[in-house]
Structure 1
Amino acid sequence: MKLTYIMALVLLGLVSCPIRVSAQLAQLVDQPQVNTGSQSQRPKFPDNSAPTGRRKGGTSRDGCTPLDTPITALVPGQEITNESKSFLTFTISEHPTFWVFVPELPINTVSGEFILQDENDKNIYRASLSLPRKASVLGIQLPRNLQSALKINKNYQWYFKVFCGDPQQMPEYFYVKAWIQRVPLNSNLESQLKKTQSREYTTYALNQIWQDALTNLATLRRSNPNSRIFTEDWTLLLKDIGLAELATAPIVEVESDEEASTESN
């Protein structure tokens, strides 16, 4: 219960402007206080300006059977219209994992596709995906090669698409779109991570590195399905970004098909 309460406080910083973390809170989680130096040196979630994204894929589309629940990118932000809000997350990983919720799909669903592009719409990585038939939270990891590695302080946009309809024709699709930026691993963050090796997500959350907080906790919850703490913290994490209803979905990692490729143009 103690850790769950702390997570409720910690995760408030993920969906708001950076805040100073009190020394008392830092002691409670047995880790150093987050660096409260210059606010401008810490990553911040953007406002409604660029880059913009699409957190939820529409529940209906011509040629596709309507979905009861939309496809959803697990990123902070509240969508006002289709593409009116910034959905930018941070990572320290060269090859991060991207997370989406996919509901139970109709029988005319063909396949999924993941695309990573730079700010100039150049494809960095593109892969076809085999999708589970049951509603799930999917983790899609970039291949560990030089071509798909994220560069520090660069913005990348990513798409997840689910195709449906006749594969012999131009298929329709549902899609979500978000952004990610890799930030440097500084000595302060590295020191904090060493002291919270069994629950790194608390450190990532304090430093507003959403992508890695989500990935670390998803991995722990998947490998420890009977852990009450990880289950409760996973629910809190998704609740803090307005997606608590997705917390009970099973977590799976998706393998890209053999034709997946890294593209140079």
Structure 2
Amino acid sequence: MATIYSVAISSDFVQQRGDNSSDLSIAKGLYRFVTVTLNRAILNRVILNNMTKTSTRFGFSKHVLVWAGVLLIGSMTIDFTLPPAQASSLTLTSLQTKQVRGQVPGRRGGGARRGDCPAPSIELTALVPMTEVPTETLPETYVGGSTTVEYPTFWFYVPYLQTANLSAEFILQNDTGQDVYRITSADLPAFEHTPGIISISLPSTIAPLEIGRVYQWYFKLNCGTEAPMYVQGGIERIPLDPDLAYQLAHASPQERVNLYLENDIWYDAITMLAQLHRINSSNTTIESAWINLLQSIGLENIPTD
């Protein structure tokens, strides 16, 4: 919406000043002339420049110029609305500051019916933050986060039982589009426990993630011969700040989760809390923390069992 600023100086104020009435009369005439010939949204400096030129040409006194300027500015509503392109870029910038490192254009959920797989009540979901950034057309979705470890773990909710017609594939690519890691459901033991949350950890047999490089991952479910449903996002390995490293070394497991979250290190936070949740499934404090973690990124519908 436009931001409007009004300057409230009226002709009544001019009358109260008691200045020469002839000057005021001439000023009012000049005011009418200027309001016709000048754009009402110009800035004061432009107004005065044009009025100075008018004075030189027609020989008006300085008093005439002053009062004409007061009348003109007093009646104006100066519109500081940004041009559409500039306004949208400012909005875009303010929203981009809410993104976390490692996010790339992607999709966090993919649950339309595919082949032999029915449409699920809760779709295939990547358990990662998502940011929507407005563009000139539709919002663009950014998915992912950061890690400090060489071989991070990825978390997904799979809504289907494993069947002969259902297969899965996880792919990790570097920033040049080359495969870094690829694995199928046949090699994923966790896939046997679906529907539910599964984890995929990068093995130490591959090259570690490089600091400062953004990688892109895909997780696909194939049902028959139709196009797979999939989710995709990004991950960036960042250096561990020495001060944060010291705090982590002297913190409890639950405190470490909070430290990771406070520093937008998503993959490390969810992996640590998920491990605590699996080991201490009856601990109500950890259960509440797990639920709150999912709710914090808008995934309150994901089953926690």
Tell me whether the two structures share a fold, i.e. TM-score over 0.5: yes
Q: Structure 2 counterpart of 1:226, which letter?
A: S
Name the residue aligned to 1:87: 143
Residue 124 (structure 2) pairs with residue 124 (structure 1): no
How far apart, CA to CA, are the structure 1 residues paired with 2:138 and 2:271? 26
Q: Structure 1 248/93 Cα, relative in aligned 2: closer, same or farther at 3 Å? A: same
Name the residue aligned to 1:240: 296
How far did 1:134 drift?
3.5
Deviations 1:14-67 (A, max 9, x none): x9957xxxxxxxxxxxxxxxxxxxxxxxxx5169xx830110013223564322
Residue 263 (structure 2) pairs with residue 203 (structure 1): no
Residue 204 (structure 2) pairs with residue 144 (structure 1): yes
> 2:130 touches 2:143 (CA, 8 Å); kept in 1?
yes
How far did 1:174 drift?
1.1
How far apart, CA to CA, are the structure 1 residues paired with 2:122 and 2:138? 16
> 2:116 touches 2:165 (CA, 8 Å); kept in 1?
no
Q: Structure 2 counterpart of 1:70, which letter?
A: E
The structure with higher relative contact order (CA 8 Å, sep 6+) is: 1
Residue 106 (structure 2) pairs with residue 53 (structure 1): yes
How far did 1:119 drift?
1.6
Match of 1:96 among 128, 152, 162: 152
Match of 2:213 among 140, 154, 165: 154
Q: Structure 1 133/141 Cα, relative in aligned 2: closer, same or farther at 3 Å? A: closer
TM-score, with normalisation over the residues of structure 2? 0.60
How far did 1:132 drift?
2.9
Identity in percent: 35
TM-score, with normalisation over the residues of structure 1? 0.69
Unpaired stretches in structure 1, ≥5 consecutive residues = 1-14, 19-43, 250-265
Q: Structure 2 counterpart of 1:193, which letter?
A: L
Q: Structure 1 counterpart of 2:219, which letter?
A: F
How far apart, CA to CA, are the structure 2 residues paired with 1:156 and 1:83? 22
Quick check: which has more Rg, 1 or 2? 2
SS at match of 2:285: helix
Deviations 1:53-108 (A, max 9, x none): 11001322356432232100011115699993111301001000000001134746
Q: Which moved more, 1:172-181 or 1:82-91?
A: 82-91
How far did 1:193 drift?
0.3
